[in-house]
């Protein structure tokens, strides 16, 4: 079983490269999701491999019958490593070319003759296959464009038709790929498979068919795990594909695969007197590239990315050479280091058993009764998806509830954060306004205090003048008067400062002044100026010099203002004005 892993690894490599070609154009044009495409491809690849995989296997076996299990393992693993290396560099690699190169490497190492007739047939398909892909895709693309113009299908309906068309054609292509390319995966092991028959109760399967089944499963695993890597090059690297072009590419590629893998079609042609079609593994990568080129030729050569095509062609030339060299040295290493026989039969024994020979040997083959394990496996396959769907539905419901609660929590937190930000902004704005108002108030107070100080100074000067007048010495009196008069002229500049003060008051309290005038139109300008000074917490004694009246007159003006504002006896005038 360990040695079979070489072929399974090659199957994984084929799935990651050639199988991706079936739905690569569909996924690249966004018509299908990769997971959906991979599921459909895997199912039909396995069916094609088990039901119709024997024809191409016999042809590949004629190229060189690897008769030792260690040799088969080495040949398969070298082909797989070659394909994997090219895939890592995003170059579509042909498993057909890789396995042919590895088998020729085995022939060269063991000294077994290479069937050049079979080799010529295989090599011819490397040219004929892409040419058929070009012809089929060009004709199908012309027919598709004519039908679309003729039928004039609505875009939404057309999208649905193309999507289903890609699924159906892709399933057909997957079946053909499994039937045609399973020989690349496990063909080298056919000569080493024991003649066994496994009984599953409802049906029986031979050892060769079981190996085909394992090979198909390995291809399916390759599709899922690494198949999307090459789709970028195949689906969009050569030419940008429309959905209509994608379905044409898949159909043309699938038709060529089916032609070279159908035993029934080959026999039918022989029965009607036509030459049989050789059942040969064909490179899926070559076919899909040929199909894309065919569409490019119809649309115009300028649509093609010639540099990308050149890189792919270079890869195709290098793959069989690299695989052959790698196989030759790997066989030398396996035989001489691990002391394993990479060949053990004579030339007369070097013949791969055909499907007919396997059927003849069924009577003498070892029978394995797997009826009960098969029934148990079927029960598991039925129950596991049901249990999975139940748990998935419950999990989806819980996830939906949690998501709703999370969104509600996020909404509440967002609203709370927004409210907090708004409050913070309001606080900052109020603080800023309060600071500005306090600054302006202090500024006005300083103006007022300065004016008051000036008035007090002038009052004291006047008192001094009266005393100087009482001085009897005329010269002394005259000198003192001159000094006082000069001082008065310097200091007593009160009118300008009062004017500046009034302008600042009007500027800062413009809104308050307007509200006061709107609400109480009977107030005079002097009343409103008095209201502003009271609002600034100025006392009557401080207001008097600012309005150039006596403190008693200020008290009378305050009384009249209360009457005009219609305040009651217990209401505070200052607090009322601040609240406006």
DSSP string, 371-405: HHHHHHHHHHHHHHHHHHHHHHHHHHHHHHHHHHH
Is it the case that residue 352 has pLDDT exceeding 60? Answer: no
User: Looking at residue 138, what is its pLDDT?
Assistant: 93
320 domain residue, yes or no? yes
**What CA–CA distance (Å, rounded) separates 413 from 128?**
68
pLDDT in tens, 17-29: 676 677 776 676 6
**Residue that is last in its domain, among 337, 369, 401:** 369
Q: Tell me the torsion sign for CA atoms 23, 182, 61, 112.
A: positive
Is it the case that residue 6 has pLDDT exceeding 90? Answer: no
Q: Which helix (H) or strand (E) holds 369?
A: strand 366-369
- Give the number of C-alpha atoms closer than 13 A to the C-alpha of residue 499, restricted to the C-beta side: 4
Q: Which helix (H) or strand (E) holds 204?
A: strand 204-206
In terms of residue numbers, what domain contains 294? 5-369
Look at the chain and report how many structural domains it folds into: 2
492 domain residue, yes or no? no
222 domain residue, yes or no? yes
306 domain residue, yes or no? yes
Residues 6+ away with beta carbon under 8 Å from 223:
15, 16, 19, 20, 38, 41, 42, 45
Range list of H helices, 53-154: 54-63, 69-88, 95-110, 116-151
Q: Which residue has the tokens 């996924």?
A: 27
pLDDT in tens, 310-351: 666 776 778 899 999 999 999 999 898 888 888 865 444 444
Is it the case that residue 365 has pLDDT exceeding 80? Answer: no
Is it the case that residue 139 has pLDDT exceeding 90? Answer: yes
pLDDT in tens, 476-521: 777 777 777 776 666 655 556 666 667 677 777 778 888 888 888 8
Query: For residues 277 and 288, is the Cβ–Cβ distance under 8 A?
Result: no
pLDDT in tens, 211-238: 888 888 988 888 888 766 555 555 455 4
443 domain residue, yes or no? no
CA-based diameter of the chain, in Å? Answer: 163
Other beta carbons within 10 Å of 292:
33
Is it the case that residue 128 has pLDDT exceeding 80? Answer: yes
Instruction: Look at 36-50, 246-260, 470-484 and tell me which has the smallest mean pLDDT.
Output: 470-484
417 domain residue, yes or no? no
User: Looking at residue 497, what is its pLDDT?
Assistant: 63
Residue 366, beta-bridge partner list:
196
Q: Which helix (H) or strand (E) holds 198?
A: strand 196-199
| pLDDT band for position 202 (cuts 50, 70, 90) | low
Summarize the confidence of residues 532-550 as an average pLDDT.
81
- Name the pTM for this structure: 0.57
Query: For residues 154 and 26, is the Cβ–Cβ distance under 8 A?
Result: no
CATH number of the domain that residue 515 is part of: 1.10.10.10
150 domain residue, yes or no? yes
| Distinct helix (H) and strand (E) counts, the chain | 23, 3
**Residue that is last in its domain, among 369, 389, 415:** 369
pLDDT in tens, 435-474: 677 767 766 766 676 677 677 777 777 777 777 777 777 7
522 domain residue, yes or no? yes
* Mean per-residue pLDDT over the chain, rounded: 78
Range list of H helices, 111-260: 116-151, 155-186, 207-226, 228-231, 243-259
| pLDDT band for position 11 (cuts 50, 70, 90) | confident
**Residue that is last in its domain, among 369, 403, 421:** 369
């Amino acid at each position: 079983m360990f040695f079979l892993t070489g072929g399974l690894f090659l199957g994984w490599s084929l799935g990651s490269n050639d199988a991706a070609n079936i739905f690569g154009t569909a996924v690249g044009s966004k018509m299908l999701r990769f997971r959906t495409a991979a599921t459909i491809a895997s199912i039909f690849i396995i069916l094609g491999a088990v039901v119709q995989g024997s024809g191409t296997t016999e042809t590949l076996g004629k190229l060189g019958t690897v008769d030792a299990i260690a040799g088969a393992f080495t040949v398969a693993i070298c082909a797989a490593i070659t394909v994997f290396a090219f895939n890592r560099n995003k170059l579509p690699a042909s498993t057909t070319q890789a396995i042919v190169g590895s088998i020729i490497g085995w022939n060269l190492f063991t000294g077994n003759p290479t069937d050049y007739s079979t080799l010529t047939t295989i090599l011819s398909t490397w040219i004929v296959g892409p040419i058929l892909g070009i012809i089929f895709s060009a004709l199908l693309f012309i027919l598709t464009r004519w039908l679309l113009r003729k039928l004039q299908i609505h875009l939404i309906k057309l999208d649905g038709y193309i999507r289903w068309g890609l699924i159906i054609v892709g399933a057909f292509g997957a079946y053909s790929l499994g039937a045609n390319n399973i020989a690349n995966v496990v063909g080298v092991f056919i000569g080493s498979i024991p003649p066994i028959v496994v009984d599953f109760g409802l049906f029986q399967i031979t050892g060769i068919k079981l190996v085909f089944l394992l090979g198909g499963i390995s291809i399916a695993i390759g599709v899922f795990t690494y198949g999307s890597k090459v789709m970028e090059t195949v689906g969009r690297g050569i030419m940008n594909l429309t959905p209509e072009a994608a379905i044409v590419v898949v159909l043309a590629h699938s038709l060529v695969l089916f032609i070279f893998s159908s035993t029934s079609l080959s026999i039918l042609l022989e029965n009607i007197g036509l030459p049989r079609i050789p059942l040969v593994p064909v490179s899926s990568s070559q076919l899909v590239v040929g199909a894309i080129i065919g569409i490019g030729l119809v649309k115009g050569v300028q649509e093609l990315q010639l540099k990308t095509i050149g890189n792919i062609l270079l890869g195709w030339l290098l793959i069989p050479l690299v695989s052959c060299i790698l196989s030759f040295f790997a066989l030398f290493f396996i035989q001489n280091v691990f002391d394993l026989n990479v060949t053990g039969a004579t030339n007369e024994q070097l013949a791969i058993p055909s499907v007919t020979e396997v059927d003849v040997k069924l009577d003498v083959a070892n029978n394995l009764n797997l009826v009960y394990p098969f029934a148990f496996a079927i029960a598991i396959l039925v129950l596991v998806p049901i249990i999975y769907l139940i748990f998935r539905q419950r999990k989806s419901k819980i996830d939906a509830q949690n998501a709703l609660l999370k969104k509600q929590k996020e909404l509440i937190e967002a609203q709370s954060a927004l409210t907090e930000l708004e409050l913070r902004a309001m606080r900052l704005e109020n603080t800023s306004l309060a600071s500005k108002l306090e600054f302006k108030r202090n500024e006005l107070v300083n103006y007022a205090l300065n004016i008051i100080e000036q008035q007090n100074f002038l009052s004291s000067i006047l008192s001094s003048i009266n005393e100087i007048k009482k001085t009897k010495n005329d010269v002394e009196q005259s000198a003192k008067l001159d000094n006082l008069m000069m001082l008065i002229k310097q200091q007593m500049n009160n009118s300008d400062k009062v004017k500046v003060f009034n302008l600042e008051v009007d500027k800062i309290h413009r809104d308050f002044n307007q509200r006061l005038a709107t609400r109480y139109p009977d107030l005079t300008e002097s009343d409103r100026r008095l209201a502003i000074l009271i609002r600034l917490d100025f006392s009557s004694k401080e207001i008097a010099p600012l309005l150039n009246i006596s403190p008693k007159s200020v008290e009378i003006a305050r009384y009249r203002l209360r009457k005009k504002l219609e305040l009651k006896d217990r209401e505070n005038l200052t607090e009322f004005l601040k609240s406006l």
